[in-house]
Amino acid sequence: MAFSKIAYKALQDIVGNENVTDDPVVCQSYSRIQWTPDGVVQRNRLGVNMRPSCVVLPGSAEEVQGVIRVANRYKFPFIPRGTGMINSAFPNRGGSMVIDPKRMNRIIKVDEKNMYAVVEPYVCFAELQAEAMKKGLYCPTPPAGSQISVLANYSWHGAYSNSWVSGLGAHNLLAFEWVLPTGDIVYSGSAALPGAGYAWNDGPGPDLRGLLRGAQFGQAGGLGMTTKISCKLYPWPGPTVFPTEGVGIDKKSKFPEETFRWYMIDFPHEYPKDEEWALKKAANLFYEIAKAEIAVVVQHMAEQFLITYSSRTKNELFERLEKRTYPHGYCLIGLAATTSTRQLEYEEKVLKTIVGNLGGVFLTEKDPAYEAWVTNVGNEWIRVGHAQRLARPSDCFHQGTVNLDSIDSIVKEILRANREQRANLESETKLGAGLLQPLSVHGGWISPLEGGYSCIMTTDTYPEQTIEGANEALAVLFQALKGQLGVRSPGAVAALIGPAYDLLGPMFFNIHLLVKKIKKSFDPNNVSNPPYATTPEVISPEELQKMVQVL
Ligand SMILES: Cc1cc2nc3c(=O)[nH]c(=O)nc-3n(C[C@H](O)[C@H](O)[C@H](O)COP(=O)(O)OP(=O)(O)OC[C@H]3O[C@@H](n4cnc5c(N)ncnc54)[C@H](O)[C@@H]3O)c2cc1C
């Protein structure tokens, strides 16, 4: 069976005529052009089949149950989505139903005392942050942008500008309400206990976060729809309203000196000749900051990120590239008066001692790099994560390599990937030469997590938004993955999603067989956003070849 007029009528009965549509024009808008290479390939492969057969807007968990049961009865695929930024939130076959959570947009609670919030799927980071700041709290900021869904991001990914405090998305998730692919509801954490509320995740009550989240990436809508979560909030020293001045690209923001201070730190060196020395210095700095238990933002950004994130226009980006405003990467540290201004003064003294001991230098307001980043756009790192500026280089972006490991292993991986990618550019294949250079696969983003316990990194690529550009970016990514497998980096688990389970599972204790069992048991009709989290059956090598084109 498939999507049909009868199924459509059943959906109308559940959500009301005004909350479901099969209008081709409206449906087409749910297949908009993707700016990631995977999306470009998906669009190229599917054409008009990227348009869903219908879009439904349930208003409650019970209505979500109803529409998911209809999908099971008539056996057509459904895709839960947040704000639809990543390609797995879009149809990858004809006859799909998109479940848009726009009507489920309530912040149910901000619990000041216990520092957590309860939110529905369409609450975005900007909304949650604004409400939390009123109560002296704040939440992580993804460089994907604070316009994205908190719930979708925590269930699916979660790399943040302030991950020194917040860790990954999975670390922020507490209790949740979950409609399974069959339409049954389960609760995780304290929400599973009558009257216990949404305050906690791991006991009493079952902790199902592992099922929901997978490795670095969650199940991408492949195991039903999460309809409510609680999540952690962190202390914010104020002000209670994010301070901004001006409009549009001229907007600036400054925090009061007694609550928050930025530092841009250099280990003067020549790039790329002394890249290894400088990155090891950055790692040592992070370990010392971890030991001293200070700071709220701890990052190392390569030139590619500094230029992309700080440039307010395309012109500015290409001018800065020419002028080499950032001749190499820098460390960025944020200190906050989390408990008092005295604490901030103390942390500043400690930071200055650490940096001095390591031979580092603090940039001053007169340095062009400081002016371009801290003076003009530093606070955006906490407000919007600079998201929109990812579009400055080429309107298309993909990670060239990604890894999750200890800080020093991450440094090794950046050095390995950069060496490999420079060699590619010089080789006969010239892999990467079609990407925007010298910005692509150049340097690395080092983002330590949870006070330095672990670390996430990426190097990014900027292809043109064409099928050739997309394929080249994906080839760079696959090659980096092959390199990671070659050195048996555990960070390669970051790639486990969709058909990649079949590709990599045998190298990771046959995890694909376990995930397939889960998919089969929870989604017997394979209707929840197939082929995510993975396919129920083992895929033949030929079929796999075709599928890995779109992860
Ligand atoms: C340019 C760019 C930059 C990015 N940068 C970052 C970054 O810095 N940090 C980061 O964490 N991520 C980043 N991402 C990854 C990703 O896009 C976001 O984490 C994600 O999109 C989250 O928000 P969304 O509302 O757009 O979710 P969507 O894209 O709508 O959904 C994400 C996935 O979760 C599933 N899903 C959505 N809602 C539910 C639900 N209620 N129940 C079950 N499944 C659901 C969807 O099917 C989809 O597979 C980036 C992506 C792009 C394109």
**Which mutation among 85, 171, 305, 465 tests ligand 1's pocket best, with the greatest number of atoms within 8 A of CB?**
85
Ligand 1 centroid–CA 518 distance in Å is 22
Ligand 1 centroid–CA 240 distance in Å is 28
What does each C-alpha distance from 377 to 109, 244, 253, 308, 477 come to in angstroms? Answer: 31, 11, 7, 12, 30
Ligand 1 centroid–CA 89 distance in Å is 8
CA atoms of 442 and 321, how far apart (whole Å): 13
CA atoms of 462 and 379, how far apart (whole Å): 25
What does each C-alpha distance from 361 to 268, 279, 294, 328 come to in angstroms? Answer: 8, 15, 19, 14
pLDDT digit string (tens) for the chain, length 551 residues: 689 999 999 999 999 999 999 999 999 999 987 678 989 998 998 999 999 999 999 999 999 999 999 999 999 999 999 999 999 999 999 999 999 999 999 999 999 999 999 999 999 999 999 999 999 999 999 999 999 999 999 998 999 999 999 999 999 999 999 999 999 999 999 999 999 999 999 878 899 998 888 667 889 999 999 999 999 999 999 999 999 999 988 888 999 999 999 999 999 999 999 999 999 999 999 999 999 999 999 999 999 999 999 999 999 999 999 999 999 999 999 999 999 999 999 999 999 999 999 999 999 999 999 999 999 889 999 999 988 888 899 989 898 888 999 999 999 999 999 999 899 999 999 999 999 998 998 888 999 999 999 999 999 999 999 999 999 999 998 888 888 888 878 778 778 888 889 988 888 899 999 999 999 999 999 999 999 999 999 988 888 877 666 44
- The helix/strand/coil state of 173 is strand
**Which mutation among 97, 147, 148, 212 tests ligand 1's pocket best, with the greatest number of atoms within 8 A of CB?**
148
CA-nearest of 341, 316, 355 to 255 is 341
Atom from ligand 1 closest to the CA of residue 529: 47
Fold observed for domain 107-235: 3.30.465
Atom from ligand 1 closest to the CA of residue 84: 30
Domain ranges of the chain: 5-99, 107-235, 252-391, 496-547
What architecture is domain 252-391?
A: 2-Layer Sandwich (3.30)
Q: Which residues line ligand 1 (CB under 6 A)?
A: 36, 79-86, 88-89, 121, 142-144, 148-149, 151-153, 155-159, 169, 220-221, 225-226, 390, 397, 529
CA-nearest of 196, 173, 176 to 186 is 176
Ligand 1 centroid–CA 98 distance in Å is 15
Show Cβ contacts of residue 73 under 8 Å, excluding neighbours closer than 6 positions.
7, 10
**CB-CB neighbours of 253 under 10 Å:** 16
Contact in structure between 539 and 547 (CB atoms under 8 Å): yes
Contact in structure between 38 and 32 (CB atoms under 8 Å): no
pLDDT value, residue 342: 98
Fold observed for domain 5-99: 3.30.43
Sheet holding 107-111, edge to edge: 107-111, 116-119, 225-232, 173-179, 185-188
pLDDT value, residue 250: 87
CA-nearest of 407, 387, 391, 416 to 481 is 416
